[in-house]
Amino acid sequence: MLKTFTLQGDNPAQMKEAVEKITAYLRENTPEGVVSKQLLPNSWSIQAYVTEAQTIEVEKMAQAHDLKITISR
């Protein structure tokens, strides 16, 4: 299912590192890879076709970097 992950954090460097790790994870673990990745004001948006298990993994990765994550379909 196509989902949009919006990541927000107070530390831009930490947020960029998390986005790079999440993007790499999605590229390696999803057939379609990342559909889009966009820098927004104070946040990043990543779209990908993911399973529920992959969604949970992305949530864990974001939380490990102290980021707020919003997931939408």
Q: Is residue 3 part of a domain?
A: no
DSSP 8-66: E-S-HHHHHHHHHHHHHHHHHH-SS-EEEEEEETTEEEEEEE--HHHHHHHHHHHHHTT
Q: Is residue 56 part of a domain?
A: yes
Q: Is residue 41 part of a domain?
A: yes
> What are residue 33's phi and psi, to 5 degrees?
70, -155
Q: Is residue 63 part of a domain?
A: yes
Count of domains observed in the chain: 1
Both tokens of 53, joined, read 């298990």
Domain that holds residue 29: 8-72
pLDDT in tens, the chain (73 residues): 999 999 999 998 889 999 999 999 999 999 888 999 999 988 999 999 999 999 999 999 999 999 999 999 9
Q: Is residue 1 part of a domain?
A: no
Both tokens of 55, joined, read 């969604």
Q: What is the pLDDT of residue 33?
A: 85
